[in-house]
């Protein structure tokens, strides 16, 4: 599974397992990226909003892994929606890796850069997508997509005459306590691949987001014991076997290596069903910090 890839609607292939870098501090993320790539990872996920693109780029270069063997995803931050070219150029410069494999619109929210409590009155994500489509002609990005888009956002975007490129990816929060089957099915029907973030159910102790009891759930523990695997590994395998790419975040070398040990075993249909049957529901990422609501809890 660690070598599995998923084919996107533009013909390119995204690695199934990647390293997430959200909330990773600069000095920590550089070492984590270098270690992950030297131990088999070929997908690194970052974002302008994370403030660590420069260090991610340093880790990529320090790894010694050829650039063309690595898939790098980064994202346009909310206050840059009306400055797509500039936002992309900043990420490209900070990463300093020549090109970006996948560029995502981080949220369907065009925040006023002068006042984070306000949404730009004359701009929305459809206009942002119009500008993102133009990036493909410049030759510095391979694929474009979105993140945190719900069904209603995608319906509006795809129905607009200006939408000439269907997003290759929708990166969304996905784990057994937030499985979002309706959203997954909708994306599949439109040929949009889904990448799962917060795929382990959150970061314990995070000052700005939630963490749920997913890895202590009896069903997860039961499957993990039966497989001789960690709870994290069975939850990650569940994600990959659902057809989603996964980007677990860690700065611990042992955990980074452990999260990648997904070869030589699979979950049975019964085990997949048991994990999918987890009853606890929670979201890690909310929208209370944005000027508009973007999550509507209608994707289950």
CA distance linking residue 36 with residue 69, whole number of Å: 13
- Check whether 193 is labelled as a binding-site residue: no
Contacts of 279 (CB under 8 A, 6+ apart): none
Q: Which residue, among 65, 9, 16, has the nearest Cα to 36 in the 3D structure?
A: 65
Q: Choosing from 41, 50, 125, 197, which is the catalytic residue?
A: 50
- In sequence order, the β-bridge partners of residue 178 are 175
Q: Are 119 and 110 in contact (CB under 8 A)?
A: yes
> Is 50 one of the annotated active-site residues of the chain?
yes
Q: Which residue, among 297, 295, 291, has the nearest Cα to 116 in the 3D structure?
A: 291
Q: How many residues can be counted in the chain? A: 300
CA distance linking residue 66 with residue 46, whole number of Å: 19
> How far does Cα 164 stand from its chain's mean position?
23
CA distance linking residue 269 with residue 152, whole number of Å: 31
Contacts of 93 (CB under 8 A, 6+ apart): none
Q: Are 116 and 107 in contact (CB under 8 A)?
A: no
CA distance linking residue 165 with residue 157, whole number of Å: 10
What 3-state class would DSSP assign to 72?
strand
Query: Which two tokens mark 24?
Result: 């990773």
Residue positions forming the annotated binding site for substrate: 106
Residues with a known catalytic role: 50
């Amino acid at each position: 599974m660690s070598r599995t890839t998923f084919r996107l609607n533009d013909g390119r292939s995204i690695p199934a397992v990647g390293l997430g870098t959200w909330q990773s501090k600069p000095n920590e993320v550089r070492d984590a990226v270098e270690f992950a790539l030297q131990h088999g990872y070929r997908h690194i996920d970052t974002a302008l909003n994370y403030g660590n693109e420069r260090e991610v780029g340093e880790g990529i270069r320090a790894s010694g892994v050829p650039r063309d063997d690595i898939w790098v995803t980064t994202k346009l931050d909310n206050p840059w929606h009306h400055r797509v070219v500039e936002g992309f150029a900043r990420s490209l410069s900070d990463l300093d890796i020549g090109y970006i494999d996948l560029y995502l619109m981080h949220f369907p929210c065009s925040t006023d850069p002068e006042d984070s409590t306000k949404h730009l009155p004359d701009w929305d994500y459809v206009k942002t997508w119009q500008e993102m489509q133009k990036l493909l002609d410049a030759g510095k990005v391979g694929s474009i997509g979105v993140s945190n888009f719900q069904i209603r956002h995608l319906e509006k975007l795809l129905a607009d005459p200006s939408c000439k490129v269907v997003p290759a990816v929708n990166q969304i929060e996905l784990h057994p306590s937030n499985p979002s089957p309706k959203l997954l099915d909708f994306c599949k029907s439109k040929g949009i691949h889904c990448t799962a973030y917060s795929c382990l159910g959150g970061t314990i102790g995070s000052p700005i987001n939630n963490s749920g009891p997913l890895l202590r759930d009896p069903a997860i523990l039961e499957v993990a014991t039966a497989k001789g695997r960690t709870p994290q590994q069975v939850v990650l395998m569940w994600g990959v076997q659902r057809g989603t790419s996964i980007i677990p975040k860690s700065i611990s070398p042992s955990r980074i290596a452990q999260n990648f040990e997904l070869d030589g075993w699979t979950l049975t249909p019964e085990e997949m069903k048991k994990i999918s049957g987890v009853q606890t529901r929670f979201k890690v990422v909310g929208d209370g910090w944005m000027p508009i609501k973007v999550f509507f809890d209608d994707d289950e």
